[in-house]
Amino acid sequence: MRRRRAMSEINVVPYIDVMLVLLIIFMVAAPLINPGQIDLPQVGAKLEAAVAPLEVRVRVTGELFVVDRTRSGEEVAVQRPQLLDIVRKAQQSNAERAVVIAGDRSVRYEEVLKVMDVLQQGQVKRVGLLARPAP
């Protein structure tokens, strides 16, 4: 009686045949696929320049200052009720102009939230917080 030995080899020829057939299919099909159309902007198209955001600074003492870099760039002290009027006046030329709040590191979080609340109640759309990147 003959003993059967365990076959310890794998016949990879069928796998190679399948891979070659797939390669041929992809090579034939690839030129037939239509790439998506991209609507590129024209060279002569006018792009709007980025407008510097209006900056509201909150000091430790609770005082508010507004800096408008498109005009003078100087700090102007304002009271909380006047803040919304100044922001609306600055956004008359560009309604999408952002407003950033720069709170001093030592200022209470509640003071910054009060300023954000005033701006949100006034329907100011783009409000953000200004921070300095870590060194």
Q: What is the fold, at CATH topology level, of the domain defined by 54-129?
A: Nucleotidyltransferase; domain 5 (3.30.420)
Residue-level pLDDT, tens digit, the chain, 135 residues? 677 777 778 888 899 999 999 999 999 998 888 776 666 666 665 656 677 888 999 998 888 999 888 877 788 889 888 888 888 888 887 778 889 998 888 888 888 898 899 898 888 888 888 887 777
Where are the domains positioned within the chain? 54-129
116 and 125 in contact (C-beta within 8 Å)?
no
103 and 111 in contact (C-beta within 8 Å)?
yes
Q: Is the pTM higher than 0.85?
A: no
